[in-house]
């Protein structure tokens, strides 16, 4: 299994600012799961933070993102354009070390970060204050933030996150939270109980699979399979949060373990649009199309 480590290469540069907010709301809003490759990068965060974020929809800021490994550097918002100019004005053949040096010149050091945390010049309002001060809060603000943990909490609760979200099933996670019975555990338990039971189990299974995948390509293909499958809570989530906007989804009974696993079974290529992830696949698909157009027999279907 992939082990988290502090990124060093330029290809791993991920810049966060004091205004960044990250949250995965799929399980709550659409009875769904985090996509766009999340099953690859979330399991590769520090400890079991990735699964915690995917299941709870907890909102985090730049300090949390640095701790989790989502961000590699913190650059204050007013410094972003200056950093971009320094990079674009640099020599075309600049080395990786030189790029990293430029970013480090603008990045906040731990000592500077402590001082910034005491001010409000580079941070957003808290989630709850946003709701209170917005003239016409969106349904996202009204419903997504109910019971959500305030940002800058990952380090404080890291041991308990690992204890609870390192469990092999949703049932065990809930059991561990009930046993812990701290303020954070009760808040997290309340949050999970508001989610789609099926979506929680699908997300849990997806991230466990993602942790064992060797490439982003493999993870995206797995997510692609799920996009071609359906379960009752998908429609209910759209109704509650997108159509009627009442914010009161009536989730169905949780899918069984067997039903969840069946969602991940390969799909015939004939039943889905080809997934063009790389040039080789694109070339093969083009050749198949050309052959079919010329009257040649169609190539055997692949399993995705």
Supply φ then ψ for residue 174, to 5 degrees: -65, -40
Q: How confident is the model over 227-277, as pLDDT tens digits?
A: 888 888 888 888 888 788 888 889 999 999 999 999 998 876 544 444 445
Say whether both 215 and 287 belong to one domain.
no
Is residue 4 in some structural domain?
Answer: no
Say whether both 179 and 296 belong to one domain.
no
Is residue 217 in some structural domain?
Answer: yes
Say whether both 159 and 234 belong to one domain.
yes
- Residues with Cβ within 8 Å of residue 77, at least 6 apart in sequence: 17, 18, 19, 122
> Residue 12: which pLDDT band, with cuts at 50, 70 and 90?
confident
The tokens describing 198, both together, are: 């099926």
The domain in which residue 286 lies consists of 268-304
Provide, rounded to the nearest whole percent, the portion of the chain with pLDDT above 90. Answer: 31
| Residue 192, pLDDT above cutoff 50 | yes
Is residue 5 in some structural domain?
Answer: no
Say whether both 261 and 282 belong to one domain.
no
What was the pLDDT predicted at 225?
A: 87
Say whether both 260 and 275 belong to one domain.
no
Query: In Å, what is the CA distance from 268 to each residue of 36, 61, 183, 271?
Result: 21, 41, 47, 5
Say whether both 212 and 273 belong to one domain.
no
Say whether both 195 and 304 belong to one domain.
no
Q: Choose between 161 and 132: higher pLDDT.
A: 161
User: How many domains would you assign to the chain?
Assistant: 2
* CATH code, 162: 3.90.226.10
Q: How confident is the model over 150-187, as pLDDT tens digits?
A: 566 899 999 999 999 999 999 999 999 999 989 999 99
Is residue 279 in some structural domain?
Answer: yes
Nearest to 144 by CA among 131, 157, 125: 131
The stretch 269-292 carries a mean pLDDT of: 48
């Amino acid at each position: 299994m992939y082990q988290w480590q502090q990124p060093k290469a330029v290809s791993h540069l991920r810049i966060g600012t004091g205004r960044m907010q990250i949250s995965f709301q799929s399980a709550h809003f659409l009875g769904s799961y985090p996509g766009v490759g999340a099953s690859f990068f979330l399991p590769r965060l520090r400890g079991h933070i990735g699964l915690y974020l995917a299941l709870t929809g907890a909102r985090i800021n730049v300090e949390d993102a640095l701790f989790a490994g989502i961000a590699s550097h913190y650059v204050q918002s007013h410094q972003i354009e200056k950093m971009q100019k320094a990079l674009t004005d640099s020599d075309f053949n600049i080395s990786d070390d030189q790029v990293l040096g430029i970013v480090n010149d603008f990045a906040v050091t731990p000592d500077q970060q402590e001082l910034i945390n005491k001010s409000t010049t580079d941070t957003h309002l808290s989630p709850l204050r946003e709701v209170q001060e917005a003239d016409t809060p969106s349904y996202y603000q009204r419903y997504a933030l109910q019971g959500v943990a305030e940002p800058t909490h990952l380090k404080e609760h890291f041991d308990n996150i690992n204890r609870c979200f390192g469990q092999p099933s949703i049932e065990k996670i809930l059991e561990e939270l009930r046993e812990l019975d701290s303020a954070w555990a009760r808040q997290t338990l309340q949050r999970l109980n508001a989610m789609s039971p099926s979506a929680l189990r699908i997300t849990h299974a997806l991230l466990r699979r993602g942790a064992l995948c060797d490439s982003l390509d493999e993870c995206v293909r797995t997510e692609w399979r799920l996009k071609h499958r359906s379960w009752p809570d998908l429609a209910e989530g759209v109704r509650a949060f997108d159509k009627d906007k009442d914010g009161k989804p009536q989730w169905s009974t949780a899918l069984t373990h067997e039903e969840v696993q069946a969602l991940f079974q390969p799909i015939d290529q004939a039943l889905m649009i080809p997934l063009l992830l790389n040039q080789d696949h694109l070339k093969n698909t083009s050749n198949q199309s050309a052959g079919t157009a010329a009257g040649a027999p169609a190539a055997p279907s692949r399993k995705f």
